[in-house]
């Protein structure tokens, strides 16, 4: 199933809001920093999807255009 760029941006914006809410961030070297996350289930999910989380956070750092 393919998604249009608008759908990708919308999904990324939603995920970014949740990442900010839980406190996920990137360190100075671009590695995922989950030290502030207290919920073990959330931490496991983010670790499992590390590449997607890193990509979403990197796009936010680059001021990715969210409509």
Q: Where are the domains of the chain?
A: 5-61
CB burial of residue 29 (10 Å; 0-12, 13-18, 19+): exposed
Question: What pLDDT is attached to residue 37?
Answer: 92
DSSP 58: H
What is residue 66's predicted lDDT score, i.e. its pLDDT?
52
Sign of the Cα pseudo-torsion (46, 51, 52, 54, in order): positive
pLDDT tier at 2, thresholds 50, 70, 90: low
pLDDT in tens, 11-60: 889 999 999 999 999 998 889 999 999 999 999 999 999 999 999 998 88
Contacts of 1 (CB under 8 A, 6+ apart): none
Q: What is the pLDDT of residue 60?
A: 84
**Residue 67: pLDDT band by 50, 70, 90 thresholds?**
low
């Amino acid at each position: 199933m393919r998604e249009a760029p608008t759908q990708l941006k919308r999904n990324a914006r939603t995920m970014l809001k949740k990442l900010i809410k839980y406190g996920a961030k990137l360190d100075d070297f671009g590695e995922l920093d989950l030290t502030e996350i207290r919920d073990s289930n959330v931490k496991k999910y983010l670790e499992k999807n590390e590449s997607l989380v890193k990509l979403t956070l990197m796009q936010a750092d680059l001021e990715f255009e969210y409509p």
